[in-house]
Chain A
Amino acid sequence: MDYQAIIESLFRGLIGERFIVFALAAIGLNLHFGYTGLLNFGQAVFMAAGAYGLAMMVATVGPRLNENTGLNMSETTLFWVGVFTAVVVFPILFALVMGIPTLRLRADYLAIVTIAVAEIFRIVARSPRFDWLTGSSDGLTGFSGTFYDLSPFSTTGRYFFNLFTGNQFFLVLVGWTILAIGTTICWLLVRSPWGRVLKAIREDEDAARSLGKNAYSYKMQALILGGMFGAVGGMVRAVGFSVAQPDNFITDVTFFVWVALILGGAGKVFGPLVGAALLYAVLDSSDTVLRQLVENDYIPSSFMSGTQVGQVRFMIVGLGLVLLAAFRPQGIFGNKEEMALDDR
Chain B
Amino acid sequence: MTDEFAKHDALVPEAGPKSHAPHPAHALPMFDVDVAAARSALSEVPWEPGASKPDPILVADNVVRRFGGLTAVDVDHVEVQRGVITALIGPNGAGKTTLFNLLTNFDTPDTGSRLFNGQAIDKVPAHKIAGYGMVRTFQLTKALSKMTVIENMKLGATDQRGESLFASVLPVLWRKQENEIESRADELLVHFKMEHMRDQFAGTLSGGQRKLLEMARALMVEPEMVMLDEPMAGVNPALTQSLLGHVTGLRDRGMTVLFVEHDMDMVQEISDWVIVMAEGKIIAEGPPGSIGQNQAVVDAYLGSSHDSALDLDEGS
Contact = CB atoms under 8 A, between A and B. Distances in A.
Contacts of B221: 211-212
A200 B155 contact: yes
Most buried by A among B104, B144, B167: B144
Contact of A341 (B154, B162, B178, B201): B201
B30 interface: no
Interface stretch (B46-54, B63-71, B134-142, B257-265): B134-142
Contacts of A209: 106, 126-127
Contacts of B203: 341, 344
Nearest to B152: A200
Interface stretch (A54-62, A76-84, A213-221): A213-221
Interface residues of A, number: 32
Interface string A312-341: 000000000000000000000000011001
Interface in A197-251: 197, 199-200, 202-204, 206-215, 221, 225
A135 interface: no
A193 B154 contact: yes
B147 A199 contact: yes
A123 interface: no
B251 interface: no
Interface stretch (A14-22, A39-47, A113-121, A184-192): A184-192
A159 to B, nearest CB: 33
Contact of A344 (B106, B145, B167): B145
Nearest to A210: B136
A200 B169 contact: no
A199 B104 contact: no
A193 B126 contact: no
A210 B104 contact: yes
Contacts of B218: 210-211
Given A210-B135, A212-B128, A188 B142 contact: no
A195 B161 CA distance: 12
A190 B129 CA distance: 26
B142 A341 contact: no
A267 B146 CA distance: 11
B171 A192 contact: yes
B259 to A, nearest CB: 15
Contacts of B19: none
Most buried by B among A206, A212, A267, A337: A212
Contact of B142 (A192, A196, A207): A207
A162 to B, nearest CB: 39
A87 B217 CA distance: 38
Contacts of A208: 127, 155
Nearest to B126: A209
Contacts of A207: 138, 142, 144
Given A207-B142, A211-B130, A211-B221, A197 B171 contact: no
A340 to B, nearest CB: 8
22 contacts: A192-B167, A193-B154, A193-B162, A193-B168, A194-B164, A196-B154, A204-B142, A204-B144, A207-B142, A208-B127, A209-B106, A210-B106, A210-B126, A210-B130, A210-B135, A210-B218, A212-B128, A213-B127, A214-B125, A214-B128, A341-B204, A342-B145
Q: What are the 8 A-B residue pairs with the smallest beta carbon separation, nearest first?
A: A212-B130, A341-B203, A193-B162, A194-B168, A192-B168, A207-B142, A203-B144, A341-B145
Given A211-B130, A213-B155, A341-B145, 4 more contacts: A192-B167, A193-B154, A211-B221, A225-B165
Interface of A: 185, 188-189, 192-197, 199-200, 202-204, 206-215, 221, 225, 267, 337-338, 341-342, 344
